[in-house]
Structure 1
Amino acid sequence: PDLPLPPAAMIARPLTVLLVALLLHVSVAQVCPPLTSVPQLDLERYAGAWYEIAASRFVYNTFERNCFCVRANYTVTADENGPYVSVNNYCRKFSVEGYESIAIGRADILNPEKPGELAVSFGPVPASSPNYFIMELGPEKNYGYVLVGEPCRRSLWVLSRSPLNFDEELFEYLMNVARKNGYDPEAIAVRKTVQEGCWNC
């Protein structure tokens, strides 16, 4: 059951941590070697709901601290500068029945020749360089899973269209893709995200 929302100050604090952490990534991404990203991306197919299957320690110790049931919803929209992706990140704090924390941002493709490299920002300051690299995406016609990283190799995510029963062989394959891109999943302590008990499915 949903619990009453806490005072606004309690919601603002984790979102402030999220913003600071992401802005840190924006600044350091400029001096870290780039990742290999997918050469093609259909934003309309990429849009929709994604559930976090796993993430690295930097993620769950900063902007996802004390988070359960992590999910995101991406919507393709546009403003005076052209199309972009509206980003809504959600999680439940402290337990699967905790209050819902929401962070709202945007993702922009800065270089059309590299559509798999997006600049994600939360707050009024836009990201000046890509910090969301789609390293692996599939299946080709369905976009059922995605591996996302960033140039400094501290943050890593595995996302899926379904929150439960993610294939273990596929998970290991994605970890090997990460290794080939300079990640050490053990050193950055990638762990599974709690999704059991979050959804009626």
Structure 2
Amino acid sequence: MVVVAERQTSSAAGWSRRTAAFSLVLLLTVLVGHQLDLVETPVFLWVLAIVALLAAFALLFAGFALSRLWNFGDRGGRDLSVGALLALLVLAPFGVAAYWATTSPPLRDISTDLDDPPVLDTSDRTADMNVLSPPTPGEQRLQGDAYPLVTGRSYNLPFETVVDAVETVLDRRDWQLQGPYPETDGQSEVTINALAR
């Protein structure tokens, strides 16, 4: 007499697929919401942390399901494969961001003028951070080493022409102007604040 044991389906494989799919949908939703200014940045960052945690759980479920499949012949190979692939897809941008964070210098600001940096007005953000302090000599050295092409530019053009060119660049890149364009009549210096997301 031969007894054939019926293979059972691994519940971990199903959980891996469902968790990974949910993390992908959540990631896409929060990215679109943040891009359309429906989700503020602090909430966006918290949701990204939840997305990464869900994708990590999906990989954990896939690993457990693979162990059950290998050792006991459980079913669910397709679910665990889909779950693992979706989780890796979701975690890929986090890996790229971690790489950039470890290879980029720890700077809080980049300036085209290190001796007399332009004042960054953050008064609409928090009361504590209205003006950034000037860069330290160490930060100046780090910026010079990491970004040698970030320097001030001089143009042999009329002042109004340069300001018009800046306005054109702002419009083309869809940067949000943080105030009205300054008057250039009789002036030799203006400050234009814009927000680039």
Higher normalized strand content (fraction of residues): 1
TM-score by length of 2: 0.25
Task: Compare relative contact order (CA 8 Å, sep 6+) and give the higher one, 1 or 2.
Answer: 1
